[in-house]
């Protein structure tokens, strides 16, 4: 096997690998010897089939396996001998015109991770904005919780429905006088003013009584989730079966005991704990963003273009989905295009921070334990149907890259916690409004393009909270797929093992709902 470097430019590397026909034949011969004892053929006892007949029976498969294993060994040897750290899966191309019995020429192209000087973590200074879960906040939360526990009771038939009441309705929707799929329902409970149904529907039930028949006229929104109904005028024949009035639960021991608690004080304590957890999350978000800003400002190094492109594509896909939901999608998309360079800069920042956090973690012994990884796998498996969960677990266990992607968020959090512990932190008591304003200001500082204001919808894609360790713990390269030129085994190719089926689709929505 001969390996020749053909490109060494920045983070890009390319190599030509020549695998001799003799090497491939040797692998085939070894495989035939392993296979022969297991082959059954009429006229021969098991294990006594001549090697030449075994080879004749399975020649194509044996040659392909031998070639693939030779290429894989060549790629691994190239990476090991040159002490490379691939940023993404190498591209592997078998030269055009290859035939069995000839030498195989393979081209390997890849980008490597940059050499990052060990970052200093001793001079980080952070301010921790803290909010107390005071008694007033807890009591407000308790009252809201009590309101959410309200129950509805049947009202007198003469009672006219008002906002806050609940109606049980039968309905059938029509467009141009023709019923449409999903437009019929019976006994549906709808609280007036909840906004669950398409605009204007609930308003037309206000003032109606039990047994009233109502012709509701509405227009489906332009962004409705059924293409055939978008922007269409529709009518609904509605019969109100019953009007119900709300009975708001009282925040007392009786309500708490009905929930299996000892009393209202225990419920109050649980709600306080939830509020504290939420406030701590906001505090952490603000600290993390300030930390990442410091790291980004003090480190500048070249990043692999393929990693940037992958990150940018993810950002861009999210922006396109959000633009489609705007009142003027075309205008939103034009603004995106005008600010495309800014979004690419954000992708560069995210990749650089990801590599930097990875380097800090590896330099300081930060790890995700096997127990933690098992927990992550089981949690992720819950997204799938019960019959597909084991397949998902096996997929993660067999695919190192997929495992690294699943591990990355927890790994990043552990590195961030490590840096928090190292930092000089000063505490400052603030109100919730002040903390949220600080986070929003950080958002605007990060997301605002240099020359013009970014559309409000764009903040989600740019939030530093979404900073990811781009493959924080580098996974070993996957087995390289071999294809004839010009096709290449790109890093983004799907794994050979099929992924489990996606989550069950949500139950079909009634057309009257948003």
Closest CA to 322 of 463, 471, 508: 463
Percent of residues, the chain, with pLDDT higher than 70: 83
445-474 per-position pLDDT tens digit = 655 444 433 333 333 333 333 334 433 333
Ramachandran quadrant class, 170 (left: phi over 0; alpha: psi -120 to 50; beta: rest): beta
* pLDDT of 445: 61
Q: Is this prediction's pTM over 0.85?
A: no
263-273 per-position pLDDT tens digit = 999 999 999 99
Q: Give the pLDDT mean for 316-338.
A: 91
pLDDT of 410 above 90: yes
pLDDT band at 38 (very low <50, low <70, confident <90, very high): low
CB atoms closer than 10 angstroms to residue 78? 21
- Structural contact between residues 380 and 407, judged by C-beta atoms closer than 8 angstroms: no
The mean-pLDDT minimum among 28-32, 180-184, 241-245, 317-321 falls in 28-32
DSSP reduced 3-state for 55: helix
- Token code pair at residue 464: 């530093």
Q: Give the pLDDT mean for 8-37.
A: 86
308-320 per-position pLDDT tens digit = 999 999 999 999 9
* pLDDT of 509: 42
How many whole angstroms from its chain centre is CA 459?
17
pLDDT of 511 above 80: no
The C-alpha atoms of residue 28 and residue 64 are separated, in whole angstroms, by: 9
Closest CA to 249 of 135, 137, 145: 145
DSSP reduced 3-state for 432: helix
- Structural contact between residues 216 and 190, judged by C-beta atoms closer than 8 angstroms: no
The C-alpha atoms of residue 41 and residue 401 are separated, in whole angstroms, by: 41
For 448, residues 6+ apart whose C-beta sits below 8 A from its C-beta are 454
* pLDDT of 482: 40
Q: Does residue 486 or residue 130 have the better pLDDT?
A: 130
pLDDT band at 249 (very low <50, low <70, confident <90, very high): confident
- Structural contact between residues 199 and 193, judged by C-beta atoms closer than 8 angstroms: no
pLDDT band at 142 (very low <50, low <70, confident <90, very high): very high
The C-alpha atoms of residue 492 and residue 355 are separated, in whole angstroms, by: 19
Number of residues assigned to the chain: 514
The C-alpha atoms of residue 288 and residue 53 are separated, in whole angstroms, by: 66
* pLDDT of 100: 80
* pLDDT of 495: 24
What Cα–Cα distance (Å) separates residue 182 from each residue in 52, 138, 205, 233, 509? 65, 42, 20, 16, 7
Q: Give the pLDDT mean for 236-263.
A: 93
């Amino acid at each position: 096997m001969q390996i020749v470097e053909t490109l060494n430019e920045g983070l890009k590397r390319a190599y030509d690998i020549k695998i001799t026909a003799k090497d491939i034949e040797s692998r085939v011969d070894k495989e035939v010897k392993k296979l022969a004892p297991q082959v059954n053929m009429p006229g021969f006892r098991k294990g006594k089939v001549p090697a030449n007949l075994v080879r004749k029976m399975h020649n194509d498969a044996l040659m392909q396996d031998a070639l693939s294993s030779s290429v894989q060994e060549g790629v691994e040897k190239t990476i090991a001998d040159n002490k490379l750290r691939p940023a993404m899966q190498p591209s592997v191309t078998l030269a055009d015109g290859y035939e069995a019995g000839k030498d195989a020429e393979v081209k390997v192209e890849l980008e490597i991770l940059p050499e990052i000087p060990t970052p200093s973590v001793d001079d980080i200074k952070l301010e921790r904005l803290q909010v107390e879960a005071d008694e007033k906040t807890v009591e407000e939360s308790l009252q809201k919780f009590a309101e959410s526990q309200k129950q509805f009771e049947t009202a007198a038939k003469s009672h006219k429905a008002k906002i806050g009441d609940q109606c049980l309705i039968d309905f059938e929707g029509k467009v141009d006088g023709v019923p449409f799929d999903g437009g019929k329902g019976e006994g549906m409970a709808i609280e007036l003013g909840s906004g669950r149904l398409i605009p204007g529907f609930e308003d037309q039930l206000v003032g109606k009584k039990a047994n009233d028949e109502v012709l509701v006229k509405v227009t489906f929104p332009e962004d409705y989730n059924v293409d055939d109904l978008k922007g269409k005028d529709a009518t609904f024949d509605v019969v109100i079966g019953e009007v119900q009035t709300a009975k708001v639960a009282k925040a007392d021991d009786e309500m708490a005991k009905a929930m299996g608690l000892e009393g209202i004080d225990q419920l109050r304590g649980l709600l306080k704990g939830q509020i504290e957890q939420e406030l701590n999350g906001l505090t952490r978000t603000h600290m993390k963003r300030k930390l990442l800003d410091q790291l980004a400002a003090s480190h500048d190094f070249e990043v692999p273009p393929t990693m940037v492109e992958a990150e940018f594509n993810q950002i861009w896909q999210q922006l396109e989905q959000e633009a489609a939901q705007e009142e003027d999608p075309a205008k939103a998309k034009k603004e995106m295009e005008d600010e495309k360079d800014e979004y690419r800069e954000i992708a560069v920042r995210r990749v650089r921070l990801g590599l930097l956090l990875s380097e800090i973690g590896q330099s300081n012994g930060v790890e995700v334990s096997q127990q933690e990884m098992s927990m992550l796998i089981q949690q992720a498996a819950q997204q799938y149907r019960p019959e597909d969960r084991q397949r998902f677990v096996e997929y993660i266990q067999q695919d190192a890259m997929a495992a690294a992607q699943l591990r990355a968020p927890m790994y990043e959090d552990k590195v961030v916690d490590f840096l928090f512990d190292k930092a000089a932190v000063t505490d400052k008591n603030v109100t919730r409004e002040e903390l949220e304003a600080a986070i929003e200001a950080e958002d605007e500082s990060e997301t605002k393009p240099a020359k013009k204001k970014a559309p409000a919808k764009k903040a989600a894609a740019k939030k530093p909270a979404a900073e990811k360790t781009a493959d924080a713990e580098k996974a070993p390269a996957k087995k390289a797929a071999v294809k004839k030129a010009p096709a290449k085994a790109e890093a983004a190719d799907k794994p050979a093992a099929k992924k489990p089926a996606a989550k069950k689709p949500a139950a079909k929505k009634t057309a009257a709902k948003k």
